[in-house]
Structure 1
């Protein structure tokens, strides 16, 4: 009996829920029909939308005057000016001594004395070592080893007591005044490298300082294995802090132009293969211009056509602009 009463109660609840759902569906469908016919389920006492001057369809509410009331886009500008552009190639290299000479004995025998160590200064004609050419049963006077160059001892590969021949280097001597930077240029830049090109060199050991240099030697051929061109640069002034073996970073000026029209690089937009800028006129509207570019570097680009000296180009905010948009210039 109890089960029968519970079943009836559940049935009543289910029927009640279904009635509510059907009612909701009915009212939703009815409202959609009314809206589609231009009616409204809300009270009809609403007033029509009004414009800024109290007339229907005014500029303030999306009527015909909407374009005139468009908010101005905030932008930053920079003038088209005359300037200089230098294009750099940044590579690494090593400081080496261009002049390095090995000192050889004039006779073979036993090395009895060496008089200098690496780092010492040697003069041309100075005796730097002694060799005893004596053999068993024969006694000869010791023969001096004489330097053929003035410079600094770089290496002393032999020791007293060693047996040497006329082909054994006793010392390697370098000229500290012949320091150069040796580096290798990728093949794609080989055609712009020539003697006399200016460069700026920097060293980790002397952070913040710039040492000017210029290209002094250019190899007549590329290395077939690395496809690079070997060049050497000489320093414009000597500095005792620069030593052979130092690692150097150099910025090589490959192209340069002066007194040209330039604009900041960030002003230029590439669109479908064309370069454009937005120029702000006296009416504070942005005019879309197609320009032609010339030389460029990391911060500036040359404008060869499409803009004139003194015009203001947009350098920030231009990605939100279209032609003739009103703008507001920020300080």
Structure 2
């Protein structure tokens, strides 16, 4: 009987030891797992998607009638008559104003100011009785009201990116919800030495009589586009020691560095030419805390 009790006691001790060891191992495993979870860096990720992407040069421009010219007087004197008003059509050579050159002790016939081209009077810059001199104040401006241009002063750093035929999108304050389209048809061959800009003209397609000469416009020149590009936020880019670029991708909740080649960028996004596949999870925020192989806790942002 004592032997039997001793046998059961020994079994009890062995089983208790096994259960105790299992509990200790389970606790160690749980603490290790919890420690690993606490070490993981929370990052924001976004799945790489294929989409169309465009690059623009954003500048300012001014609306003007096609071939618009300013008309100056050939002589000094006082404005005696104004024969036109804004919006009226004039033919080349027709008189638009007269200047009184009269001086004390001398009489002169009124001197005519003639239109150098045919078109519409877009502005009259003088009033009756005003004194003017040749080449100072224009009497009026004449141009087209149906064929309108946007004149752009292009900084010289963008000269090689802009060519004849490129599309320009523009908006004006008078119609904030409308976008007008123009096509570049002229590009000067010399940069202004003072402003370091090149004058570019684009013909506005169907202005519908809404755009007026002298209006200020926000313009965007389309320089590159792709119908199928992997587009990601530029905040995802990391510069490597060799000067090349890379991104961190999520592989089983581990951050892995991936060299990439950027095709072009615009504002806060870039088109990736090589190095990424559609659907891969790219880390867009939190990368400054990472290195290759860092455990991460990914939170997805929809794009």
TM over 0.5, shorter chain: yes
Q: Give the 3-state SS of the residue equivalent to 2:174 in structure 1.
A: helix
- Report deviation, 1:330: 4.5
Q: Deviations over 1:291-324 (max 9, x none)?
A: 2222111132122222212212122333333315
Residue 103 of structure 2: aligned partner:
none
2:4 corresponding residue in structure 1: none
Residue number among 116, 122, 126 corresponding to 2:89 in the alignment: 122
2:57 equivalent in structure 1? 89
- CA separation in 1, counterparts of 2:38 and 2:113? 92
Give the number of the structure whose alpha-carbon radius of gyration is greater: 1
- Is the 1:155–1:173 contact (alpha carbons within 8 Å) kept by the matching residues of 2? no
- Residues 70-219 of structure 1 correspond to what in structure 2 (within 5 A)? 71-97=39-65, 98-100=67-69, 102=71, 114-117=82-85, 119-124=86-91, 149-152=118-121, 154-155=123-124, 157=126, 159=128, 172-219=141-188
Identify which of 233, 253, 260 aligns with 2:222: 253
Match of 1:312 among 253, 270, 281: 281
Please name the residue that 1:276 is paired with.
246
Name the CA shift for 1:100/1:202 in 2 (closer, same or farther; >3 Å).
same
The alpha-carbon distance between structure 1 residues 172 and 199, as it changes in their structure 2 partners (threshold 3 A), is closer
Cα RMSD (Å) of the superposition? Answer: 4.4
Distance 2:218 2:121 in 1: 25
Cα distance in 2 for partners of 1:330, 1:279 equals 12
Does structure 2 conserve the Cα–Cα contact (< 8 Å) formed by 1:52 and 1:59?
no
Equivalences, count: 271
Normalised TM-score (structure 1): 0.64
For residues 88 and 36 of structure 2, the distance between their equivalents in structure 1, rounded to whole angstroms, comes to: 84
Pair 1:231–1:127, CA change in 2 (3 A): closer
The TM-score normalised by the length of structure 2 is 0.69
- State the secondary structure of the residue aligned to 2:24: coil
Structure 2 residue ranges without an equivalent (≥5): 1-19, 101-109
Structure with higher RCO (Cα < 8 A, 6+ apart): 2
- Relative to structure 1, the CA distance from residue 174 to residue 315 in structure 2 (aligned partners, 3 Å threshold; closer, same or farther) is same
Q: Distance in 1 between matches of 2:164 and 2:246?
A: 37
Secondary structure of the equivalent of 1:182?
strand
Is residue 2:203 matched to residue 1:234?
yes
Pick one of 286, 295, 298 that aligns with 1:325. Answer: 295
Q: Does 1:220 align with 2:186?
A: no
Change beyond 3 A, Cα 1:285–1:194: same
Residue 25 of structure 2 corresponds to residue 58 of structure 1: no
Q: Distance in 1 between matches of 2:114 and 2:287?
A: 74
1:76-101, Cα deviation, whole Å (9 max, x unpaired)? 32222222332222222222233337
Taking structure 1 as reference, are residues 58 and 274 closer, same or farther at Cα in structure 2, changes over 3 Å only? farther
